[in-house]
Amino acid sequence: MNNHIFLLSVSFVLLTGMNPVLACTNLIITKGASSDHSVMITYNADSHTRYGAIAFYPAADHKAGDMCDVYHYENGKWLGAIPEVPHTYSVVQFMNEYQVAIGETTFGGLDSLSRQPGSFLDYGSLMKIGLQRSKTAREMIKVMTELIGQFGYASGGESFSVSDAGEAWIMEVIGKGKYEKGAVWVARLVPDGFVSGHANQARITTFPFQKANNFSDTKQTVYHSADVVSFAKKYGFYKGSDETFSFSDVYNPLNFGGARFCDARVWSFFRKINKEIRENPEYTRYALGQFSRNPVCNDGSRNTNAFVSNRLPLWVKPDSAVTLQQVMAGMRDHYEDTPLDMRNDPGAGPFRSPYRWRPMEFVVDSVMYLNERAIATQQTGYSFVAQSRNWLPDPIGGVFWFGVDDADGCVYAPMYCGISEIPKSYAMGNGSMITWSETSAYWTFSQVNNWAYTRYNLIHPEIEIYQRQLEKQFMAEVNVVDKQASELYTQNTPAARDYITAYSVFTGNKLVSDWKTFYQYLFMKYIDGNVKNAEGRKLLDNGNGKNIPNMPSQPGYGKDWERIMIQGTGNRLKVTPGK
């Protein structure tokens, strides 16, 4: 792609309202695709103003006339109130006591549909309220869409991952703007044995049109608004046939940014687990923002509308069963060992950093360039892996593996979905993005991550070792807690809930305390560009018993970067012995 076309492509991203800083990633793993037959969905909540903490909403009974206050998910502003239902379920951030979980990524979509006068239910409110009122993923979809129909939709286009202990769905919604109240939407069941994902670009293309939504029919695998196609035709957004209608291509038309900044993240995970994605050059071209518009799409469907034909499939079958560890690793991806690997160009600095500071684009000599946007990113407030397991009682079967700050440097702590209390270190109100707290999980992990950014290839390997050790330990502990809590559950359900609460609270608080000690160790070891001798995360003295270390090593910048340093400096840095 020449510079002129490249500039036009990125400019088009901006002119069409596709905001390249939209930044969340969801992965979806069905029970038939996972190694332990659990259902898993993930979520990176990526925002430069998002604080990492766990909101908790206890189960409650409500009287007639009680109202549910609605607060904007992103800025906290009170938006309005809607009637309560007689009983609401307990919710741990974005997973409820019945193992129903939800994640989202914002795709925005057509600018004319992004604002709906008089509406006040934003996507975050829908997620929270839906979880409080749903026992299954299908019921969650029903509740959310009914709320949208009744109260309108106050956000831009959204992709949702919705799961329970048996199923996982991908659902996409966009408002009707000034034209009508509510939204158009479609939801598809991810086939068992397959993996899906989304990352700020609408992913559902064509789908089987249904005459009606029967949410109690377990054989129905597609739900959608009755006017999902007719609305687009009525207002001139689409002129093709009903059969070839594509939700994504109509309501969130693909452009360079939608592939390179967004779908490339899904591609990076897919290629790790699926040979076809890994080896088919058309999918790599797509991830690079290079499109084909062939008469037949990669999936074999007719392409009469000249949409992009080499886009990623909505779901893929993994080469082998996917483990919980692989899913967590997927959330830590920086395009390593792909054509988009950030560790090998000058932007990585001397310490091979897979991070690029914002903004996403920059202009040099009137040409616009980009910084890659990977799954793992510095501005993550929190991330999670919601794991639902149908062989255990609901309060015990759901584990909300929660991490704060950059997923690459977090440790996923297990929070059972049936707990009645949140660890103080992760609780809302314990610190904020503008308030420091010594006991805050977010600020503790941020300290470690930001220290690691300074010399990534030296410091981060130590983080990975400890991270793996702790997560492996937690997984082993969960197996024990599962068994004991399940046995207790049959005899004394409240006692079982107390037990899983005590474990989750203790584990979360202890993790933060241990990580704070880890930060102190890393800071002392790598201070001033040096590397002190250590053993087992303990710094060593010189053997004289006076807490004085041996002379630390000084690894410097490395030969590759030293060559870059001397380019363009002439002889200024050259050592010339005096004559």
334-355 pLDDT tens trace: 999 999 999 999 999 999 999 9
Q: Specify the pLDDT at position 23.
A: 78
Residue 253 lies in a domain: yes
Biggest CA–CA distance in the chain, Å, is 96
Nearest to 463 by CA among 414, 503, 407, 419: 407
Per the CB < 8 A criterion, the answer to whether 40 and 398 are in contact is no
Could you say which DSSP state residue 259 is in? Answer: I
493 or 576, greater pLDDT:
493
Together in a domain, 364 and 469: no
Nearest to 412 by CA among 452, 469, 460, 454: 469
Residue 363 lies in a domain: yes
Q: Specify the pLDDT at position 76.
A: 87
Does residue 540 sit in helix, strand or coil?
coil
Together in a domain, 354 and 500: no
Residue 401 lies in a domain: no
Does residue 289 sit in helix, strand or coil?
coil
Work out the pLDDT band at 553, boundaries 50, 70, 90.
Answer: very high
Domain boundary among 370, 387, 412: 370
Q: Specify the pLDDT at position 579.
A: 60
Residue 240 lies in a domain: yes
Cα 518 from chain centre: 26
Per the CB < 8 A criterion, the answer to whether 42 and 93 are in contact is no
For residue 388, count other CB atoms closer than 10 A to its CB.
28
Task: Give the whole-angstrom CA distance, residue 292 versus residue 308.
Answer: 6
Together in a domain, 361 and 456: no
Per the CB < 8 A criterion, the answer to whether 145 and 169 are in contact is no
Work out the pLDDT band at 392, boundaries 50, 70, 90.
Answer: very high
Together in a domain, 336 and 463: no
Q: Domain limits at 176?
A: 3-370
* Predicted TM-score of the model (pTM): 0.95
Could you say which DSSP state residue 263 is in? Answer: I
Phi, psi of 183 (to 5 degrees): -150, 160
Together in a domain, 446 and 321: no
Task: Give the whole-angstrom CA distance, residue 331 versus residue 328.
Answer: 5
Together in a domain, 113 and 240: yes
Task: Give the whole-angstrom CA distance, residue 463 versus residue 409.
Answer: 7
Work out the pLDDT band at 358, boundaries 50, 70, 90.
Answer: very high
Domain boundary among 355, 370, 385: 370
Residue 434 lies in a domain: no
Together in a domain, 449 and 353: no
User: 212-232 b/e with 16+ CB inside 10 Å = b?
Assistant: ebeeeeeeebebbbeebbebb
For residue 367, count other CB atoms closer than 10 A to its CB.
12
Residue 422 lies in a domain: no
Whether residue 118 has pLDDT greater than 50: yes
Per the CB < 8 A criterion, the answer to whether 394 and 382 are in contact is no
Count of domains in the chain?
2
State how beta strands 367-370 and 87-88 pair. unpaired
**Cβ-Cβ contacts under 8 Å for 483 (sequence gap 6 or more):** none
User: 424-444 b/e with 16+ CB inside 10 Å = b?
Assistant: bbbbeebbeeeeeeebbbbbb
Look up tokens 């890994």; give the residue: 278
Residue 91 lies in a domain: yes
Per the CB < 8 A criterion, the answer to whether 224 and 81 are in contact is no
Task: Give the whole-angstrom CA distance, residue 126 versus residue 374.
Answer: 27
**Cβ-Cβ contacts under 8 Å for 314 (sequence gap 6 or more):** 170, 188, 196, 203, 204, 205
Work out the pLDDT band at 577, boundaries 50, 70, 90.
Answer: confident
Across 117-143, average pLDDT: 96
Task: Give the whole-angstrom CA distance, residue 401 versus residue 411.
Answer: 9
Domain boundary among 351, 370, 389: 370
234 or 75, greater pLDDT:
234
Together in a domain, 228 and 329: yes
Residue 398 lies in a domain: no
Task: Give the whole-angstrom CA distance, residue 312 versus residue 331.
Answer: 19
439-to-82, 424, 463, 507 alpha-carbon distances in Å: 36, 8, 20, 14
Together in a domain, 133 and 270: yes
Averaged confidence pLDDT in the chain: 94
Q: Which of 18-22, 75-79, 214-218 shows the lowest per-residue confidence on average (mean pLDDT)? A: 18-22
Q: Specify the pLDDT at position 36.
A: 98
Nearest to 383 by CA among 117, 41, 153: 41
Tell me the pLDDT tens digit for each residue of 311-324. 999 999 999 999 99
Whether residue 532 has pLDDT greater than 50: yes
Together in a domain, 475 and 339: no
**Which spans in 421-535 are helix H?**
441-454, 456-491, 493-526
Together in a domain, 17 and 157: yes
Work out the pLDDT band at 300, boundaries 50, 70, 90.
Answer: confident
Together in a domain, 153 and 292: yes
Whether residue 18 has pLDDT greater than 60: no
Whether residue 105 has pLDDT greater than 60: yes
